[in-house]
Structure 1
Amino acid sequence: MEGTRHPDQQQPDPAPGGTEIDRRGLDHLIAVLRGAGYRVIGPTLDDNAIVLRELEAGDQLPDGWGVTTAPGHYRVHRRDDAAVFGHSSGPQSWKQYLHPPRRQLWSTDSDEGFRAPPDDEVAYAFLGVRGCDLAAIRILRTVLCNGADSRTATLYSRLFVVAVDCTEPGGVCFCASMGTGPGAEGEYDLRLTERLGDAGPNYLVDVGTNRGAEILAQVPHRDAAPGEVERAQQDVCAAADRMGRQMPEVDLRELLRTARDADVWDDVASRCLTCGNCTMACPTCFCTTVEDVTDLTGTHAERWQRWASCFEPEFSHLHGGDVRVSGQSRYRQWISHKLGTWYDQFGSSGCVGCGRCIDWCPVGIDITEEAARLAETFPGVGTDPVRGSE
């Protein structure tokens, strides 16, 4: 399982591969994936943010764009180079494609039975999945599939992943302390490490699966220049020392159990708007609710699933009323599940250190600062860190 740990407690990130493609090769990779029937999803610049969109060609990638991030702050800016992946995570995550914000579960008419929506047989290829999001995809698969024969499991079975090592952590990133980055470690078909040079970016390529090898064989590539692999690995390792944030080195499960009735929750509740932005931006939050709708005649009905948030008062509604009526109790529920009881349910932390919840909180509440405050309030509790291991 993954857990909070020091960078010096992590296993070394896997070394970049010894094969290399250039910037035109990256464009060619997109074309090959599209030709193989994949809908290629990757980063692009839109509405002053780096967002995930379907790519029809490589010229949609955000060449030369970076981002500046801080609590409640996100700005794009021009870089002085042509890096494609020289930015940290944007407002969206890959969750929206594997676990859509809204989808139909079934429909029925008065003279017919229940019908499941048809499988659209989409196959996604995700381009540019960073280590934190690679971990989030793995966590969501554990939560949502778990051996079930479902539409979500089918999406996962068709998924092609082009991961990318992160050499440009943002101001709110803390993946190194969560054991999920900056190197992209886990299950991927291909993994890229971007290297910048006078002639533009090049990409070291590591092959993770037979599918990845088959796709790469159709892309012009060459052996990496001597020393490139070592220099790329040094860049990835150096990124771990440039994280904008870090989780405290404690057993967060024990700390949160101890702090259940602490006064510190009153302070965060006084700032929290309970808007649910953190849960919507989080790449692993998975809660849903269902809505039933009918047409005006009452002869056709549909059931839809949509994302929900534990910050909604009615989320904990039972007969007789809502269970968590205060903002204090709802924030405590979210952070306690994310960093604590998620281990008991799924065997890992629910946090991958991407920092989106910090970035997109309207009032700049920082999950790492709140965890550190709890650790200061209860010194000595959970002093042995939870070490992550698969």
Structure 2
Amino acid sequence: METAQPTVVTTEGLEALLDTLRRRGYRVVGPTVRDQAIIYDDIASIADLPRGWTDAQEGGRYRLARRDDDALFGYAVGPHSWKKFLHPPVLRLWHAERDAAGVRVVPEPDPDERFAFIGVRACELHAIAIQDKVFLESGQIDPHYRARREGAFIVAVNCAVAGGTCFCVSMNTGPKAEAGFDLALTEMLREGEHHFLVEAGTDAGNAILAELPHRLATTEDLAAAAAVVARTAGSMGREMRSDDVHELLLRNLDHSRWDEVAARCLTCGNCTMVCPTCFCTSVEESSDLAGAEVSRSRRWDSCFTMDFSYIHGGSVRSSARARYRQWMTHKLATWFDQFGTSGCVGCGRCITWCPVGIDITEEVRAIRESEPQ
């Protein structure tokens, strides 16, 4: 791709972007306010974006709050991740019908829609890249994921706000989008003006950008956008030393801290449901009462459930201690052994949406500080 000079668009240019994507046949999905949270869903215009809203997050706590400006992306992340669309919570794989002629098995067709994701954060770009490794690059290709992933158009947003549970700087995954996007926006509100610095990451992004009303970015624009990212990087809500966490956890599998966290953990699985990289599933079959139709579906599962590790004779991980240790050591350590990368992107969702506020960064710190110096 030929590198293009960054440009600047107004809110009218952003509206034109959504219109252009829709005109090209994309299903446009982005952040919107619903049920007292910022979630991802279909959006028709920038009026659907969370204008003037932010989120206050801490361990076990999430609240929306009003900003003192009209920022469209002035929040961190909500309970949803883009995994919801690329790796759906429930997916019917096939169904079979029985009639007088016999049994007919009908595979589930691939989706015929192309997604355009609006407002993807840097940590989420890394999460999508991690799921690409799992579903596309690990030797076994998941055709259902591939059908949704191919052709997706990604509009990233560089973070102007760090949530109270964010630690992407520690994981080298943000707050600036560096790769994996077609277009990247930095929202700038200054002196009554509402502008977005736009950087293209692909030829497809350049082609879309050429159709939008824009102007070339000035030195002042570039400096203002850089200041937004620098301010966010300096205000992380959490931190976690991650360069040695693989070895740290694997040499502490019998640490007493696992018992302490198990005493608090409800094994509800919230952390795995909101995590943008967790990918565990189970397969279910169901039939109608007449026995004329049966279907097989795949749905999200969690290593926190008793049934997930069940084999003949019982569950391999029957205690809360074993299940929490499995999740945390896989996420931060053995994921490297499987996929060559961490399974954590520092988004902080597992901390925010844990009902009892268990903090993965605090658990790592406690184990590290217990070792002899």
Same-fold status (TM-score > 0.5): yes
The residue correspondences of 1:199-238 to structure 2 (distance < 5 A) are: 199-238=192-231
Structure scoring higher RCO (CA < 8 A, sep ≥ 6) equals: 1
Q: Who is 2:112 aligned against?
A: 121
Worse overlay, 220-229 or 303-312: 220-229
Check if 1:141 corresponds to 2:141: no
Q: Structure 1: which 4+ aligned runs deviate by more than 3 Å? A: none
Check if 1:309 corresponds to 2:302: yes
Check if 1:130 corresponds to 2:121: yes
Cα deviations across residues 323-381 of structure 1 (Å, max 9, x unaligned)? Answer: 1000000000000000000000001000000000000000000000001011112245x
Counting matched residue pairs gives 366
Residues 379/204 of structure 1: CA separation in 2 closer, same or farther (3 Å cut): farther
Query: Aligned Cα RMSD in Å?
Result: 1.5
Check if 1:244 corresponds to 2:237: yes
Q: Give the superposition deviation at 1:88.
A: 0.3
Q: Who is 1:53 aligned against?
A: 41
Counterpart Cα distance in 2 of 1:236 and 1:55: 26
Counterpart Cα distance in 2 of 1:35 and 1:343: 41
Among 298, 306, 326, the residue aligned to 1:333: 326
Question: Aligned to 1:325, what secondary structure does the other structure show?
Answer: coil
Counterpart Cα distance in 2 of 1:231 and 1:16: 19
Cα deviations across residues 252-305 of structure 1 (Å, max 9, x unaligned)? Answer: 111111110111111100000000000000000000000000111223110000
Counterpart Cα distance in 2 of 1:187 and 1:248: 25
Q: Give the superposition deviation at 1:250.
A: 4.6
Q: Who is 2:363 aligned against?
A: 370
Q: Name the amino acid aligned to 1:159.
A: A
Q: Who is 1:109 aligned against?
A: 97
Q: Give the superposition deviation at 1:114.
A: 2.4
Q: Name the amino acid aligned to 2:270.
A: N
Q: Who is 2:57 aligned against?
A: 69
Q: Name the amino acid aligned to 1:125.
A: A
Counterpart Cα distance in 2 of 1:71 and 1:343: 26
Counterpart Cα distance in 1 of 2:372 and 2:39: 40
TM-score (norm 1): 0.91
The residue correspondences of 1:1-390 to structure 2 (distance < 5 A) are: 18-110=6-98, 111-146=102-137, 148=141, 150-379=143-372
Conserved? CA contact 2:171–2:242, under 8 Å: no
What are structure 2's unaligned runs of at least 5 residues?
none
Q: Name the amino acid aligned to 1:75.
A: R
What are structure 1's unaligned runs of at least 5 residues?
1-14, 381-390
Counterpart Cα distance in 2 of 1:329 and 1:127: 38
Q: Percent same amino acid among aligned pairs? A: 49
Residues 249/320 of structure 1: CA separation in 2 closer, same or farther (3 Å cut): closer
Cα deviations across residues 24-51 of structure 1 (Å, max 9, x unaligned)? Answer: 1111111111111001111111111111
Counterpart Cα distance in 2 of 1:319 and 1:177: 41
Q: Name the amino acid aligned to 1:130.
A: R
Conserved? CA contact 1:16–1:204, under 8 Å: no
Conserved? CA contact 2:4–2:200, under 8 Å: no
Q: Name the amino acid aligned to 2:332.
A: L
Question: Aligned to 1:243, what secondary structure does the other structure show?
Answer: coil
Cα deviations across residues 175-214 of structure 1 (Å, max 9, x unaligned)? Answer: 0000000001221100001111233421000011111111
